[in-house]
Structure formats: C-alpha cells, structure tokens
C-alpha cells in the first residue's frame, strides 16, 4: 500500500460525500412533484399511456403495476432476442439467441442484474443493444428507484392521511427516468466520449496487425450503453471484458468517473431519506454506517492485493512496490489502473448492485475475492444499487430498531411508528428469501454432476466460484468470478430463477412493509425510545448487518475463500 494509493481512495470518498446533498435535494424535488422543467413532456407521456397521475395507489396496487410492467417488458425482450436475426441494425448478422439463453438474458436485464453468459460484441446486434438492453438499463434502475421512494413515503406518511397508499408507480417510474437517469446519462456520456469511449454504428473492422495476423475490432454505440450501465448500477458490458476493455474504460479518469457514477444516486438517496422523513440526522447516520462498511471493505481488499501472493514471492517474483514496479498481485489487472483502482472498483461495484468489473475477481487473492462476495451476501446494503441499496438497508434499520426495542423491554419504534409482528415478518421474509436462494442453489449445483460440469477449478476455489455466481445473481449484481461456464442449460435456468427471486421476492415484502408503515399513526417519543441517529445507532446498525451476514454465510465462506487463504499461506495450493 502506498501514500499515492490512499490519496486516490480519499479523493473518491470526498467526491462521493460532496455529491450526496445536492443530488439528494434534487431527488426530493423530483419525487414530490415540484420539479417541473420537463412537465409538458411528462404530461404527454401520461396522456399517451393513459396514466392518471393524480392517483395515489394503495401498496397492493403499486406492487401490481410494478409486476405487470416487469412481466410485459421481460416478455418483449425475450421475443426480440429470439428474433434478433430477422430484425434491423444487425450488420454482423448475429443469430437469434437460444431459448434458455434468451430467458436468462431477458430476466437478467429486467431485474437490473445484467448477468451475461455471452460475449456482447459477438452475440448482440446494435438493435438489441439499443432497444432492449439499454431500455432495461434505464427502466430497471427506475423501478428500483421507485420502490425506494415508495418505502420512504411509507415511513414519512401518517396513518390518517395515507391508509397504506404509497404514491403512483407509473409517475415514479416516469419521473425517475425523465428527470434523473436521462439527463445525467446525457451529460456524463459526453465525458466518457471525451475520454475515448467509442460511439458509432460502424460494423466490426477487420485489420491486419503489424505482425501480419488478422484481427477483428468490434465497434458500436458503446458510450451510451456505458454510462447507464454505471449510473443505473446495471453492469452489463458492451464488450465481454466489460470495464477492463479500453473501448469501454480507456483512461484512469474514465475509470474514476465510472466509479463515481455507480455510487452517485445511491449516496444521494440516503440524504433524500433524511429530508423526506424530516430527520436529517437519521439520514446521515445511515450514510455513515454505509460509508464505514465501504471503507472497511476497501481497506481489506487493497491490503490483500498490495501484499501480493506469498507463493509468487517464494518463486522469486518481486511483489515489492517501487517506483518502477507495481508490486503486489497484478494478476488479472489492467496496468493502466493498477492495484488500488482495481481493488477500489471491485468493492464499489459489489457494494452497489452494479456488476461492472475492471479486473478479474477470479485472479484476486482469497481475501481480495472474499470482500466482493461478502458485499453481495450482505444484501448490497453499502449504498447498493439504485433504489435497491436504500430499501435493503432500511430493512436492516427496522431489524436494528426491533433488536434495540427488545434490549430495553418495550415495543420498538422507528421514527415514531411502532414495529410490530407483521413488520418483522416482512423483514425476515426479505432476509431469508435471499439467503435461501444463494445457499440452496449453491448446494444443489455442488452436488449435481451437471453443476460441476461447468467448473474449471476444484477445491475451495471452485466452491467460491459457484458461491460467487449465485450470490451475484441473487443480489442482482451480475459480476462473475470467472472459472465457471455459465452458458449451460443448468446455469442459464438456475441463474434466471435466482435473479427473479433476488428481485421480486424481495420487492414484495419491501412494498408490504411500506404499506404497513404508512397505515400507522405516529406516537410521541419517550425516554424509552431508541434514538435512530448518532454514533451509537450507526454502530448498532453495522453490527446487525455483519452479524446477520456472518450467521448466514460464514460456514460456506469458511469452506471457500477462508480456507483457500490459509492454504495459500502454507503453500499447499501448488
């Protein structure tokens, strides 16, 4: 680890802090309806779609609208993928996707996961990339944003006025896309183009290298895909190498902007929570808990990768950092980013449900690879995906308040609303659904010959690859650990099911919780009320997140990256 590396991490942290308040204020104005600079376009959309924008939907109706929109858009994408060879803007004449891969891909982009069992530059036409994949990059992020806003409304509203109503899904979806995702994408995509990210409709170029070999250089509308991939925490790359590819992420500055855009909206949403609930101290306390978890993950990953692999050192490879040698573990990393930016990117992308990668996590040291998988298993509550990060952390906030209430022997209260049996049931349903998906599908795949058939490594590293894959798909992250052939009927099917569970089996209890809280009356605070702001609350929240994660996943992790770390130290891996 170097002073230069820590300086880069500090600059990123400062930038993340500085954008939280101004963008958070903007988000409040967007979703309370006071933002009107695109109102004519907004009203036109409602008129064309037949939306009654003044309707305040009950949580069940809000949920039904969300599920209907998701199902219809999923089926549309499936049809386009199956008919890709017959549609325009396909200069490479790519074939239609097989049924099982079309199913997985349609589910993947609908759920904001963007898991890819294919190489984008050699599989997807420009028409598919622009009309389906880019479309879902926007609307799947807007759906997550809508759910987070609905939950915050449920917390902020009073029982007499709300009666379980959370706003209007169609309005929230439209405003999130029109006022937030589109304008930010337009501005930030120009920065990416300025840095060298390509944007064209040119067919792939066939060239002759200086050595006389033939090579195909993929082209396409990359910058427009790249920005919403990061901003919407989608992660699906235009190229198979994702953000390690020089056409997607050419410079250290484009890498910095890519990381900032991943955390941009999730960080601001936490400030929005404080403003909409009328308790800024609570919002900042949640932000502080997220930041400390993030910083701990960055520290562990940077330390592990900068320290390097002791087996490499034993074979005479110089792992010492000097002015002319990067040192550490450079395997699987781009030289233009180095260890610090590879470690930082891996933590940012798995704290958020993004899944973009600028280095191969499979080549990280065991501890360096442990942190990303733990980030996803915790529910990606560390800022998290657009919307999904906030509502995931609020699940743990309610659980923390419940535990604090048990400690003092009285009914738990959260911002003046009593947390009772049905609220706790929704919280536990959320926690258990995600854990069951990860652990059950991993266990079945490890035991089934068809699951092991796609594995390129044995032992603890092989287990980690399967565990990482189901953690990624269930958490709607989409990053891959590599070393696992995911393009089989077995994994295409199970990954698709895991992504559906990780998205919709969690959104249902979140919106139910929001509706239940909206129905409740506010009770005045008393001497027994546990404060939900300050250092004590942030520490307890961090403790609950880590303890729940450890109790759920430690046995599996102990058989994977943890035992691999000790084997590496003893030299038994080789």
From CA 129, how far away is CA 91, in angstroms rounded?
13
Phi and psi at residue 484, in whole multiples of 5°? -125, 125
3-state secondary structure 259-288: HHHHHHHHHHHHHHHHHHCCCHHHHHHHHH
Residue that the structure tokens 């249902």 belong to: 508
From CA 137, how far away is CA 228, in angstroms rounded?
6
pLDDT of residue 567: 80
CB atoms < 10 A from the CB of 566, how many?
12
Closest-CA residue to 275 (of 397, 152, 394): 152
pLDDT of residue 570: 65
pLDDT of residue 163: 76
Q: Exposed, middle or buried: residue 92 (CB in 10 Å: 0-12, 13-18, 19+)?
A: middle
In contact, 388 and 380? CB cutoff 8 Å: yes
C-alpha distances (whole Å) from 540 to each of 162, 254, 271, 272, 399 are 30, 37, 20, 22, 11
pLDDT of residue 162: 66
Q: Tens-of-pLDDT digits for all 574 residues of the chain?
A: 788 889 999 999 999 999 999 999 999 999 988 888 888 998 999 999 888 888 889 999 999 999 999 999 999 999 999 999 888 888 888 888 888 889 989 999 999 888 887 776 778 888 888 888 888 889 999 999 999 999 999 998 876 666 778 889 999 999 999 999 999 999 999 999 999 998 888 888 888 888 888 888 888 888 888 899 898 888 877 887 888 888 989 999 999 999 999 999 999 999 999 999 989 999 999 999 999 999 999 999 999 888 877 777 777 777 777 767 777 788 888 888 888 999 999 999 999 888 888 888 888 888 888 899 999 998 888 888 898 889 999 999 999 999 888 877 777 888 888 888 899 999 999 999 999 999 999 999 999 998 888 787 778 888 888 998 899 999 988 888 877 887 788 888 999 999 999 999 999 999 999 999 988 888 777 777 788 889 999 999 999 999 998 889 999 888 888 888 888 766 555 4
In contact, 337 and 12? CB cutoff 8 Å: no
From CA 306, how far away is CA 302, in angstroms rounded?
6
Beta-ladder partners of 165 = 58
From CA 505, how far away is CA 286, in angstroms rounded?
24
Closest-CA residue to 157 (of 521, 401, 512): 521
pLDDT of residue 301: 92
pLDDT of residue 572: 55
Measured at the alpha carbon of residue 16, what is the angle toward residues 13 and 17, in degrees to the nearest 5? 90
DSSP labels, 101-155: HHHHHHHHHHTT----SS-GGGT--HHHIIIIIHHHHHHHHHHHHHHHHHHHHHH
Radius of gyration of the chain (CA): 23
From CA 180, how far away is CA 146, in angstroms rounded?
12
Beta-ladder partners of 455 = 484
pLDDT of residue 428: 93
pLDDT of residue 569: 67
Which residues have C-beta within 8 Å of that of residue 339, sequence separation ≥ 6? Answer: 5, 302, 305, 306, 326, 327, 328, 329, 330, 333
Chain centre to alpha carbon of residue 110? 13
From CA 50, how far away is CA 359, in angstroms rounded?
46
């Amino acid at each position: 680890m170097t002073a230069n590396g820590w300086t880069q991490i500090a600059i990123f942290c400062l930038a993340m802090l500085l954008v939280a308040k101004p963008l958070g204020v903007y988000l409040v104005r967007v979703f309370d309806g006071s933002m009107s600079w695109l109102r004519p376009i907004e009203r036109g959309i409602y008129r064309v779609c037949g939306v009654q924008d003044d309707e305040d939907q009950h949580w069940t109706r809000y949920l039904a609208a969300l599920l209907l929109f998701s199902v219809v858009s999923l089926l549309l994408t499936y049809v386009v993928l199956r008919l890709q060879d017959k549609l325009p803007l396909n200069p490479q004449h790519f074939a239609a996707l097989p049924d099982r891969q079309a199913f997985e891909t349609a589910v993947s982009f609908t759920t904001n996961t963007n898991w890819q069992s294919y190489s984008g530059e050699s599989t997807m036409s420009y028409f598919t990339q622009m009309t389906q994949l880019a479309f879902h990059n926007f609307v799947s992020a807007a759906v997550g944003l809508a759910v987070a806003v609905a939950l915050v409304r449920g917390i902020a509203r009073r029982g007499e006025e709300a009666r379980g109503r959370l706003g209007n899904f169609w309005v929230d979806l439209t405003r999130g896309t029109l006022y937030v995702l589109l304008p930010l994408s337009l501005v930030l995509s120009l920065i990416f183009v300025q840095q060298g990210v390509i944007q064209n409709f040119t067919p792939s170029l066939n060239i002759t290298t200086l050595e006389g070999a033939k090579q195909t250089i993929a082209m396409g509308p990359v910058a427009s895909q790249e920005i919403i991939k990061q901003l919407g925490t989608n992660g699906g790359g235009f190229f198979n190498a994702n953000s390690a590819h020089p056409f997607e992420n050419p410079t250290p500055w484009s890498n910095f902007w890519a990381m900032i855009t991943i955390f941009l909206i999730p960080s601001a949403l936490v400030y929005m929570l404080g403003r909409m609930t009328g308790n800024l101290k609570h919002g900042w306390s949640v932000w502080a808990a997220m930041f400390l978890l993030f910083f701990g993950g960055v520290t562990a990953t940077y330390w592990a990768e900068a320290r390097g692999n002791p087996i490499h050192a034993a074979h005479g490879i110089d792992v010492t950092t000097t002015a002319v040698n990067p040192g550490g573990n450079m395997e699987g990393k781009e030289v233009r980013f180095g260890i610090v930016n590879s470690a930082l990117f891996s933590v940012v992308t798995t704290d958020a449900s993004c899944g973009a990668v600028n280095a191969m996590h499979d080549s990280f040291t065991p501890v360096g690879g442990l942190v990303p998988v733990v980030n996803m298993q915790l529910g990606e509550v560390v800022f998290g995906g657009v919307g999904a990060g906030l509502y995931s952390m609020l699940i743990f906030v309610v659980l923390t308040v419940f535990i604090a209430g048990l400690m003092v022997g009285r009914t738990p209260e959260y911002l003046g609303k009593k947390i009772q049996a049905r609220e706790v049931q929704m919280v536990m349903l959320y926690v258990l659904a995600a854990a069951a998906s990860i652990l059950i599908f991993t266990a079945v795949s490890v035991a089934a010959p068809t699951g092991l058939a796609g594995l390129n490594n044995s032992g603890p590293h092989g287990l980690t690859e399967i565990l990482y894959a189901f953690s990624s798909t269930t958490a709607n992250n989409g990053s891959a650990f590599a070393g696992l052939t995911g393009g089989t009927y077995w994994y295409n099917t199970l990954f698709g099911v895991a992504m559906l569970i990780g998205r919709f089996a969690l959104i249902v209890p979140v919106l139910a919780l929001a509706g239940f809280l909206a129905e409740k009356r506010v009770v005045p605070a008393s001497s027994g009320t546990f404060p939900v702001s300050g250092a004590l609350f942030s520490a307890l929240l961090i403790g609950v997140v880590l303890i729940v994660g450890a109790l759920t996943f430690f046995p599996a992790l102990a058989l994977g990256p943890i035992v691999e770390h000790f084997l590496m130290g003893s030299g038994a891996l080789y």
